[in-house]
Structure 1
Amino acid sequence: MLRTIRAKFAVGFLLIFCLSFLLLNVTLKAYIRSSNRTIITSDLVELKNNGNVYVRQAFLINHFTNNDLYFGQMAEEMVGDLRRATSSDVSAYTVDGVLLYSSDQTKFAGRSTSDLKLALEGKTAYTITYAGSAGSVLYSYPVVIDGVKVGILRFAKDFSSLYEQTGRILNILFYLALAIFAAAFLFSYMLSRHITIPLVKLTRASTEVIRGNLDVRIGIRRRDEIGRLAANFNDMIGRIASQITTIGRDRDRLKALHEQEKRFFDNVTHELKTPLTSILGYAEIIRENGEADRAFFEKGMAHIVDESRRLHGMVLNLLEVSRRSAAKDEAALVDAGALLRDVRDAMELRAKRYKKRIALNAEDGLYVLGQSDRLRQLFINLLDNAIKYSSPQAEIAVVAETDRAAGAVRFAFANPGVTLSPGDAEKVFEPFYSGDRTFKEEGSVGLGLSIVKAIVDDHGGTIRMDSGDGRTTVRVALPAAGKEEGDA
């Protein structure tokens, strides 16, 4: 289509230039002819005036009573004198149109006699005859003496030099105009190519984009509108490619999240169903047998209590997940070190149950701005996670200290045990991520560290997990707050 546009440009410019050239040529010819007529008319008027002066003088010098007769008698002399005075051939006629004398009768023979007929009617007239670059005029007018028409004078004047001169001028103007129009047409054609060639490139590039090739670029280096259009096109394709890449990443991430959510739903359904089934089974047997079998009764009640506690913990975790989008409580000054000691004391019993111990090294005055209940849950989840996944009879090392250079309070929860791969260590804090189920505790649905990450993010902190060489360490950093800041 753009080649058609280029052809339209060429044909359009050609038509415009041809019409303009023809119009200019016709106009110049008409103007020059009009100018020639003006010059000829001026010469003829002067010719008539000279002839009239000569005839009047001749009649004044010789007082003839019969003017017509005298005009006939002096015709030969008068024609000769006017021939020499005007450099034109002259013929004299009677008032009836009869030729009296002619300086060169061949100049009048075979020519139009319309001017002579008009002169017989008392009018002044002339006839212009063209023959190539030559031009001549037949000029006739009645001679009137004292109000009486005594004869007719007819002149044959050659204007070939005038027409040759104007012809040369016309030729010069013709070729000059032709050269100018040819140069203008060539410039216009080159300009149209200069415009349409980039458009062809843009069309080809856009076609490649339609076919899915986003690596195409237009190599047009110009500082005009087309150059800016090409640069904008390249930027647009770059942004589209970037957006498509981002969309692809988001699509893959959404797909992974969807799969994680499905696994999470399956896990929650399974983990909730298993203890409920066990509780229901023991409860029905105890209802039927009562305390008849005391040993079974005690075992069943203990199982029901343990499973109920496990259900309660899972429900609390699920509720915590649902609270992430809820309104946050106002932050208050919290002594994180004292809070961590309380949590350590409470979790010591759970650690002993697994034959493990917790070693805490916490500085005094570790103040942060936050929500005490949620920070407590943060520490509980991290210690519980360390207890569950550490080696048997392991010592869990907990360190809490101030990083004054960074203006933060740092916590480290380290435990020996089975380590995670680098990929799992990066993903353990993602929502719904359950990790390698080989090392997963029964009843866990993979929400603990996700909740921990949400609490740390809400407090403006950072968290990461380092796992390797038989040891896993979770590091948490929270913005530090001075005591006076909380008082204020």
Structure 2
Amino acid sequence: MLHTIKGKFIIGFFLIFSLSFLVLNQTVKSVIWSSNEKIVTSDLIDLKKNSIVYINQAFLINHYKSNELYFGDMADEIVESLTHSTGNNIGVYTVNGTLLSSSNKNVFSQGTDEDLKKAINGKNAYHITHDQNKAEVFFSFPVVIDGTKVGILRISKNFNLLYKQSGEILNIIFYIALAIFVAAFLFSYILSRHITIPIVKLTEATSKVKQGKLDADIHFHRKDEIGELTMNFNDMITRIRDQISTIEKDRDRLRKLNEQEKRFFDNMTHELKTPLTSIQGYAEIIKQKGASDQKFFNKGMNHIVEESRRLHNLVIKLLEVSRETSKDQFNRIDAGWILKDVCESMKFRAERYKKRIRFEIEEDLYVYGQMNRLRQLFINLLDNAIKYSLSNSEITITAKVAGDQVLFIFKNPSDLYDDNQYTKVMEPFYSINRQAAEEGSLGLGLSIVKTIAEEHGGTIKMFYKNNNTIISIELAYMKVEK
């Protein structure tokens, strides 16, 4: 056991220091290479300016009708003059990339010519080829006279000294960092031994306790956290000896009772909240409008009465010992009509959240099921969409026949969540966004929806597409007999 813990510490410290060493070394290397590129770029810009000045002066002295033709005629002169003035290899090309003249054909005929290809397309470009302490840059740019591209100038410049100095600096930093990390690793190893030895003994003692041997007292004469941990462990063993018999008798029974009580309370809270939401919405609107809109008043009162009855039925159902649904309670019902009614009643709740509900529901969407359970399914889905959609958004509900199935689609704009969350969201008590969840919501809505869909022999899917969370439900379609 000592060897195992010590090995873990050694491997851990080795990985941390190695990774830190590699990151530091790579960072320094990147900084130096970046600095070198800036120096190279600056030199190349100066080369280009001087070369362009020389070519422009040559064109000013001799006035030719065809600048491109003159550029070709004076290619050798340009190469000779610029090679002498800059000390670099010079190549002169046509606008199509054909070599007209060069100070060293071997230099320009080997290696990659990516910079030349870019210059043909009218861009300034260069690439660096380096091997250990050797470095050479090929720089190509189009020559433009009076707004017309007359040719391409390519320069080969040696940067061996710059990259050699950079390599020496990198080597110095590498060895200094290596020495520091080796010293830190040795110190960490010594410290780990001082920590791991008492931890191993404490682990052996806890293993004995796990096996039921409560005589595993340990003693370390230390005045630090490990010494305090030892005293606490010995005190814990003493308390366990006094209480172990009582815990073994009552533990399982109390846990089972607590879980049953919590599950019942959570389910009852969520089941009762959905009809109360509808009742509250209509009651608030009726309170504002009074009896001025008699049609709406009658409709609202009918919904309040209907939801109150459903609330009563829910209370009775939640108090039943068994929640199993017998087959004779299922009937042929128009699910589309139920969904329309739920959409109308939930519009007012959506308006409170500054959101809109738009629905497209076909006629005669008959399924085999329970009216109250399907109503509860639709209310939970709409309530979920209202709470978790983006602000000032529009919730879209569609219902139609798809083959031998009735397809219900609930779509609301929302933020993207992890795929793992979409798989867990149907589980009881799970909520994707605890911060956005309404106070009192316990993550049971979609779990209840899944249960109802399965009771009706249907399937439910939840996924994210085009910035929208989409829930689709399929139930078996009962064709209308004519």
Larger radius of gyration: 1
TM-score by length of 1: 0.42
TM-score by length of 2: 0.43
